Amino acid sequence: MDITQEGLRTLAAVLREGTFDAAAASLHITPSAVSQRIKALEAAVGRVVLRRTKPVSATPDGEVLVRLARQWELLLAETRAALVGEPADAAVPVTAQPRVHLPIASNADSLATWLLPVLARFHREHPVAVEVLRDDETRSSALLRSGDALAAVTSEPLAVRGCALHSLGSMRYLPVATPEFIDTWLRDGPDADVLARAPMVQFDRNDHLQRDMVAALAGRAVDPPAAYIPASTEYHRAVTLGIGWGAVPDVQIQKALDDGRVRMIADHHLDVPLYWQYWKLSSPLLQHLTELVIAGAAAVLR
């Protein structure tokens, strides 16, 4: 099986750009050359690797190869950086060091509370350009399987095949609302009938955590009217502004609780265990990022 770097690079470009024409433009070759490279790759592995849809998508066999392509790109970029000079090499100015692209996946709450300072330190210490692919923590591992991410914050305790897994701790969510909202909607407590009518703030329509919280408080599944605020910081603000009640990370909401701007609507919480998964590669960058993530999470998570 002769899998060439050229074929892998072309496959990654087609999936990244969505069409053969766009991939050709990014690679500075003709669409015909892109097509020939993909056909040669498929002939080499004896499998169809792309669905010729709009946009183009990978078959399961193609996903295996694109993971290899992304891993190869990282290792190649690290090698180039090492040849130019390490960050600690005073002879090489920081402006001359090539940036290594490193895609990771994270949920919005981790990014807003503890992960961003970790990434800031990582950027100060290494010539990198991290791309954060945001998705719900229950779904971010899918980005590992597809090869779109080389590491991810996830709530899945089982490692993706080919990945290492570290437990990070749990993020605690508290059900809160403003005093005015509680006086209007929840004066007699959050029973099922009341919660079915009281407006709730949800992150998006895939927000399982909020539905789990309302079901736990109501004792059964209920479907309250929802306002959708798909950003962590803005979600927190929406609750503190009285748009509805919601489950907010304790590290985000503690100051508002201390100030009396919000109150808990019930003596209840949900703890969401988080894990760090990353591809098993001989990558110093990925290994150091892992060390920083574990330390950063330990300072905040339970």
Per-domain boundaries in the chain: 171-271
Q: How many helices (H) and strands (E) does the chain have?
A: 13, 11
Residue 97 tokens, joined:
């060091």
pTM of the model: 0.76
How many angstroms separate the CA atoms of 40 and 27, rounded?
17
Classify 218 as helix, strand or coil.
Answer: helix
Secondary structure element (H or E) that encloses residue 112, with its range: none
Q: What length does the chain have? A: 302
- 185 Cβ contact partners less than 8 Å away, ≥ 6 residues apart: 177, 194, 197, 198, 199, 245
How many angstroms separate the CA atoms of 247 and 236, rounded?
9
Residue 65 tokens, joined:
């190869």
Query: Which residues share a beta bridge with 166?
Result: 276
Signed CA dihedral, 285, 291, 296, 302: sign only:
positive
Residue 282 confidence (pLDDT) = 76
Angle at which helices 284-298 and 60-84 cross, to 10° = 100
Residue 93 confidence (pLDDT) = 66
Contact 20, 8 (CB under 8 A): no
The class of domain 171-271 in CATH terms is alpha beta
Low-confidence ranges of the chain (pLDDT < 70): 1, 80-96, 137-138
The DSSP output letter for 111 is: I
